[in-house]
Amino acid sequence: MAANAPLNGHERALYARQIRLPEVGEGGQVKIRDAKVLILGAGGLGSPVALYLASAGVSTLGIADPDKVELSNLHRQIIHGFDTLGLPKTISAAEALLEINPGLQVALHPEGLTLENAESLIGRYDLVVDGTDNFATRFLAADICTLAQKPLVHGSVLRSEGQVGVFLPRVGCYRCVYPVMPDASTVPTCADAGVFGATCGVIGSWMAAEVFAIILGRRVASRLMVVDISAGTSKVLNLARDASCPTCGDQPSILGIEASRYAATVCPPPPSMSATPLEVSIEQSAQLLASATPPLLIDVREPDEARICNIAGARLIPMGMIPERLAEIPQDRLVLIHCHHGGRSLRVTQFLRAKGYAQVSNVQGGINAWSLKIDTTVARY
């Protein structure tokens, strides 16, 4: 079917409930149908994204994933099943998607996103969705999207918490938030720390919703959404282009793709980073705070939470205000970050490390664990 062709009777009937939405209409449904979307990773996040895009009428989907379906995938990668164990994820995903939308054009990229194919592959699509689980691919995809001026929707999950990033051309890219690729050993993975399948569903569905918002022209700014399923909270951080960003700044240093830039061995943390653990237990935190040279403790909860309870001496900087209050956070002493249960504070810790803060650690369990194990007079909520 030619691009921008009017909907036919079958399409009007199939997508009737969606077309009735004032932000969609027939014109919006045509935009959704004609969009070409590349999904990187057919796993926990790529599964719900692909299913919702196909069922909503996107007619061209690219699926890039070099892995095969394994038993440990099935609790969260809902596009696959026992009958596709051992199959390439691209084939397994295509079979499921064509059951939902028989007219879908599925382009399979079983080699995944690589240094050799990244520019040509991303160049074939209007928009990229990144649901991958390794830093090299994330940063490669982000850099190509910035250089090619392609919108990028990014997602990540860990335990019961996740984030969704929307990065639009010229208004803030992935490296504006994470300028340097961290050493993979400094950040736990789902294989190490675990993940709820439902967390993938929430984050993946939100990613799909952001894809539709971009297609329909309803996004004009980059932003980052952080969701804590256990706490039942979400936070939207509005992003702006960083003038010093290495990819989209005033004097960018990344003007093309160089293989060495995406090798883990060339992105080691600063020397003091490896000596400072990513996370410390609540007991270790109490010992450090009671020492002769205590660290700075930063509370990244919201003010209404801090009014309920707090840890003596903590400095309140809500998570959404961290980027604009970096000057208050020293780089020459140990800094501990805490929140309610440890989810938001882990994201802040990762953000600060990406910004070059070497001596920063997350407090596992947050103030809830402090109340249970250290000071029972601290109220719980």
Per-residue pLDDT, 178: 85
3-state secondary structure of 164: strand
The CA-based angle 92-97-100, given to 5 degrees, is 140
What domains does the chain contain, in order, with CATH numbers? 35-266 (3.40.50.720), 271-373 (3.40.250.10)
- Supply the pLDDT for residue 188: 58
Q: Please name the helix (run of DSSP H) or strand (run of DSSP E) that holds residue 107, with its range, or none.
A: strand 105-109
Residue 172's pLDDT is 93
Determine whether 207 is exposed, middle or buried from the number of CB atoms within 10 Å of its CB (0-12, 13-18, 19+). Answer: buried
Cβ neighbours of residue 268 under 8 Å, at least 6 residues apart?
183, 274
**The pLDDT of residue 191:** 59
Which segments of the chain have a pLDDT < 70? 1-3, 183-193, 264-275
Query: Among all residues, which ones are annotated catalytic?
Result: 190, 339
Q: pLDDT tens digit string along 70-110?
A: 999 999 999 999 999 999 999 999 999 999 999 999 999 99
Asked if residues 79 and 42 have their Cβ atoms less than 8 Å apart, the reply is yes
In sequence order, what are the residues at sequence separation of 6 or more whose Cβ sits closer than 8 angstroms to the Cβ of residue 17?
none
C-alpha dihedral (182, 159, 161, 144), degrees to nearest 10: 40
